[in-house]
């Protein structure tokens, strides 16, 4: 489980999710494909199952670690209304691959990828 803590009525810190390099996929192709994707964020209250944020626009950002390979993180910028109510929520990013990169030699399937894959993203607003 990945835990994220933010204060009530706060807009910082930005929610950032790193993608796991598991060695089973060609992540250079993945990073190229994700740059042409639509990304959204949804957040649901774990106690009431009520959706607090539904398909809000999210984005990718280049990771600033000074490494020699380009890597990206998925980000969501909070709005005050997002953190108005205290509680525990589950967050999910959806990456919709548009499939527009096949002409550029990147053969990545069209469709949706739900992130995180392995662990739940639990967000606590206090």
Q: What does the pLDDT look like over 62-112, one tens digit per residue? A: 777 656 666 778 999 999 999 999 999 999 999 888 766 554 555 665 778
Residue 72: per-residue pLDDT = 77
- The Cα–Cα gap between 119 and 111 comes to 21
- The Cα–Cα gap between 118 and 53 comes to 22
The DSSP-derived string for 43-89 is: EEETTT--EEEEEEE-EEEE--S--SS--EEEEE---GGGGSS-EEE
pLDDT exceeds cutoff 80 at 34: no
Task: Determine the number of helices (DSSP H) and then strands (DSSP E) in the chain.
Answer: 1, 9
Q: How confident is the model at residue 22 (pLDDT cuts 50, 70, 90)?
A: low
- The Cα–Cα gap between 114 and 107 comes to 19
pLDDT exceeds cutoff 90 at 23: no
- The Cα–Cα gap between 76 and 85 comes to 18
Distance of CA 106 to the CA centre of its chain: 22
pLDDT exceeds cutoff 70 at 122: yes
Mean pLDDT, rounded, of the chain: 83
Higher pLDDT, 63 or 2: 2
């Amino acid at each position: 489980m990945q835990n994220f803590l933010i204060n009530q009525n706060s807009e910082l810190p930005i929610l950032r999710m790193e993608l796991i390099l598991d060695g089973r996929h060609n992540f250079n192709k993945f990073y190229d494909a994700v740059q042409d994707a639509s990304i959204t964020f949804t957040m649901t209250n774990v106690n009431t199952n009520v959706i607090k944020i539904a398909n809000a626009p999210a984005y990718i950002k280049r990771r600033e670690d000074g490494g020699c390979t380009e890597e990206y993180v998925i980000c969501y910028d909070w709005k005050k209304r997002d953190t108005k109510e205290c509680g525990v929520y589950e967050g999910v990013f959806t990456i919709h691959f548009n499939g527009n990169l096949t002409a550029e030699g990147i053969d990545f399937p069209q469709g949706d990828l739900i992130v995180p894959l392995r662990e739940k993203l639990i967000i606590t607003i206090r």
